[in-house]
Structure 1
Amino acid sequence: MAGSVHCEPEVEESESLRSNANIAGPMTDPVPGPRTESIGEDVSRETPPPMDDTPIGRAAQLAVEALGRAGEGLPRPERTRVMVVANQKGGVGKTTTTVNLAASLALHGARVLVVDLDPQGNASTALGIDHHADVPSIYDVLIDSRPLSEVVQPVPDVEGLFCAPATIDLAGAEIELVSLVARESRLERAIQAYEQPLDYILIDCPPSLGLLTVNALVAGAEVLIPIQCEYYALEGLGQLLRNVDLVRAHLNRDLQVTTILLTMYDGRTRLASQVADEVRNHFGDEVLRTSIPRSVRISEAPSYGQTVLTYDPGSSGALSYLEAAREIALKGVGVSYDAQHAHIGAQSEQSIVEGIQ
């Protein structure tokens, strides 16, 4: 950076510069979020204001470009793709991946439903969906056979995105399901009876392999496994894959592990590269070429009831999820993904910022 201001190559600092895009004017802040409104300015939302060559100006331009790129649209699948986001290991970015991929696909023009099967309800919180005890939820669908259409809510600020929330009642659903008829396929039946057109259904599973996860595996055709780029990344993965094989053999012949997404990637560490290489060598083409960087903005967004796509659309986390969604959509229709023209790759966040600028 020219002048007297010195910028250290730290992830958090480069992220914070980008977050200041919120004060550049209404064009760069199309949805609610933590921001400082400009006073006394009448800036059209149709025409972006001229950007100066400052960190805030560049960050604002990134946000505009990210949302514009999302609006380009992607090929839609011929039929609804039901993707189960699962990993019995906690803290791998499972819920974060579910909500941000869903928002990315919706911003690309798809109609997307998130089914929150985790009793903690973190996906519902991140999408800004009310899920207190009295709200109709996925628990009512599984236990009381309530129609899915009666519990689905539209997600604020993201057109085409919907959520079937989880409430605390879901914590006891595992025990209640044991005595019910067709206990493994109750979610599948609810989805089949849902009449609203959808391009994608993303199911956020709890970090366990109980009946809730089995219901998700029976209902879905694709399994997406997020794997964090850390030392214990593959711990417990073998059991998940064995369960997928068992469900495929006895309950759902169409079930396949189609997508592996590397999360929490920090290109400044050798360990992250080693884990990424090991995962790619083992799973091959199932691993997306896009990886999700470790990002402060991704972690902050849920506390505001937002995805990173609306919280800070110009951040490296938002750009990465947009690119991952693009890759998933293209793979789904058999179109080859050209990594050379990808907007973001598996590199450190500082390199991402420098490359975009």
Structure 2
Amino acid sequence: MNPALIPVTLEELTVLSRRASTVIERLRERVFAPGAQKRLELVFNVRTAAEMVGRTEKAIRDAERDGRLPSPQKSETTGRRNGYSLTDINRMRKLFGTLPHRAPNDQALVLAIQNFKGGVGKSTMVVHLAQYFALKGYRVCVIDCDSQASSTAVFGLNPDVDVHEEEDTLYPFLQHGGPKSLHYALRATYWPGVAIIPANLGLYDAEYEFAARMARDPTFVLDRLREGVESIADQFDIILLDPPPALGMLSLSVLRAANALLIPAPPNNIDFASTAHFLKMMEATLSELARHGGAREYSFVKILTSKMDDQKSAHQAIKRMMDAVFPQDMLNAVLKDSAEIDNAAANLMTVYELTGAATRTETHKRCRAYLDAIGREVELLARKTWPSHHPRLRKEGLL
């Protein structure tokens, strides 16, 4: 008698994998610009440029008129300005002295978006925070520590084609006798001000190798990523770490490398229970890690309510409980569940890089508003870690 289900062979799984790769390639061809290179299409009118730069429209026009800034490009048909790119905006900021960079004596913020559970919005927050900070003029680095490489893909790199584990990812650095710094892996992105150290599936091998080495050389395993981050930190204001969604060696390394943590936590029973377990595991893990290399302190640890649905009474109830249990530890801003984020992600994009009619809908404006609110709150926390920003924060009444 034949069985009801026929066993799936390795050969059939190989075919399935190849078909999945074909789908990814077709998606890439559809959403990426010609030549397989994403481009940032954002342009800003002079009013928005003035707001971003912190100067008047007249100051910008005067600087263009007297040659301190390039003359604006104009449409051949209408004679109107074509608008300013983010590169143009940063050129203005440099001229007027309004770039928000930290002082050389300030420590770069190394922020891990960390939770051991998958699907809570880690990569979503990494890419949106990176782009929020870039729009503000900060120097940003994204380090993709997750072999699933979601952040890598959003920033325009196909992990299976554009990224080689032996040359482009963390993997060589994590080997004994590897490179002395992470400069070899830094890649510029199509976003001015954002660099990335990409990931691909090969990074998963580091988990096995680190685990095998842990008993022999725990200090190397736990501190290697931190040393790598320190080797490039002088080039950036903010370094964002996107860790794997599991309690593994790379996740532990991320906890050691970061100097601040943001923990996304959806307000449902299963995800919140997982977050509570994560906090308990993190406490025990950091206590154990301290025995091998000293205690690790963080400038801040904040919990972000993610994937919040205001229409669900259970979400509202758990959110109230989270606010009551963690009154000083929650971000005020909330990452709400939004089709806008999902639709952008389906095209390997973020809400911040959408252009045209898509940005004029109320749905987009609401989504952009709460992403900006999260960005502003994290930006303020970052600035509070930089002594050079304290006088300005006091003047603004924020310190």
Query: Which residue among 264, 268, 282 is the counterpart of 1:226?
Result: 264
CA contact (8 A) 2:256 2:296 kept: no
Distance of aligned partners of 1:140 and 1:302 in 2 relative to their CA distance in 1, 3 Å threshold: farther
Aligned counterpart for 2:142 among listed residues 102, 106, 114: 114
Separation in structure 1 between the aligned mates of residue 203 and residue 381 of structure 2, nearest angstrom:
33
Name the counterpart of 1:46: 83
SS of the residue aligned with 2:379?
helix
Q: Residue 273 of structure 2: SS of its match in structure 1?
A: coil
Report what 2:230 is aligned to: 192
Runs of 4+, deviation exceeding 6 Å: none
Matched AA of 1:308: V
Which deviations, in whole Å up to 9, do the C-alpha atoms of 1:97-151 show, x marking residues without a partner? 1111111111111111111111100111112134335251122222363331111
Structural mapping, 1:292-303, within 5 Å = 292-303=335-346
How far does the alpha carbon of each residue in 1:290-329 deviate from its partner, in whole angstroms, 9 at most, with x for none? 1122112211223433222112566233332222111112
Aligned twin of 2:210:
177
Tell me the C-alpha RMSD between the 2 structures: 3.0
1:104 paired residue number? 132
C-alpha distance in 1, partners of 2:315/2:78? 45
Q: Which of structures 1 and 2 has the bigger CA Rg?
A: 2
Which SS does the other structure have where 1:123 is aligned? helix
The alpha-carbon deviation at position 44 of structure 1 amounts to 2.3
For the structure 1 residues 42 and 297, does the alpha-carbon distance in structure 2 shift closer, same or farther, using more than 3 Å as the test?
farther
Q: Distance in 2 between matches of 1:75 and 1:327?
A: 17
- Equivalent pairs: percent with the same residue? 23
> Does the C-alpha gap of structure 1 residues 43 and 92 become closer, same or farther in structure 2, counting only changes over 3 Å?
farther
Alignment equivalent of 1:328, drawn from 345, 369, 378: 378
Equivalent residue for 1:347? none
SS at 2:336's partner residue? coil
Question: Residue by residue, what CA displacement relative to the aligned partner does 1:231-257 show, whole Å, maximum 9, x if unpaired?
Answer: 323122233223332454314421466
Within 2, Cα distance between the matches of 1:232 and 1:281? 19
Task: Assess if the C-alpha contact under 8 Å between 2:108 and 2:238 holds in 1.
Answer: yes
1:341 corresponds to? none
Instruction: In structure 2, list runs of 5 or more residues that go unmatched.
Output: 1-39, 44-76, 85-97, 385-392
| Residue 168 of structure 2 corresponds to residue 136 of structure 1 | yes
TM-score (norm 1): 0.70
CA-CA distance at 1:333 after TM superposition = 3.3
1:86 and 2:107 are equivalent in the alignment: no
What's the TM-score once normalised by structure 2's chain length? 0.63
For residues 166 and 330 of structure 1, the distance between their equivalents in structure 2, rounded to whole angstroms, comes to 29
Give the helix-richer structure, 1 or 2: 2
- The answer to whether the 8 Å contact 1:115/1:202 transfers is yes
Kindly tell me the number of residue pairs found equivalent between the two proteins: 280
Match of 1:161 among 187, 194, 218: 194
Q: How is 1:245-324 mapped onto 2 (pairs within 5 angstroms)?
A: 245-249=283-287, 250=290, 251=293, 252-255=295-298, 258-311=301-354, 315=364, 316-324=366-374
Q: Secondary structure at the match of 2:326?
A: helix
Structure 1, gaps ≥5 residues long: 1-27, 32-39, 48-71, 339-357
Higher relative contact order (CA 8 A, sep 6+): 1
In the alignment, is the contact (CA less than 8 A) between 2:145 and 2:244 conserved in 1? yes
The AA in structure 2 aligned to 1:331 is L
Equivalents in 2 of 1:329, 1:256: separation in Å? 13
Which amino acid in 1 is paired with 2:171?
A: Y
Q: Which amino acid aligns with 1:89?
A: K
Moved more, 130-139 or 279-288: 130-139
Residue aligning to 1:95: 123
Q: 1:141 to 1:320 in 2, by over 3 A?
A: farther
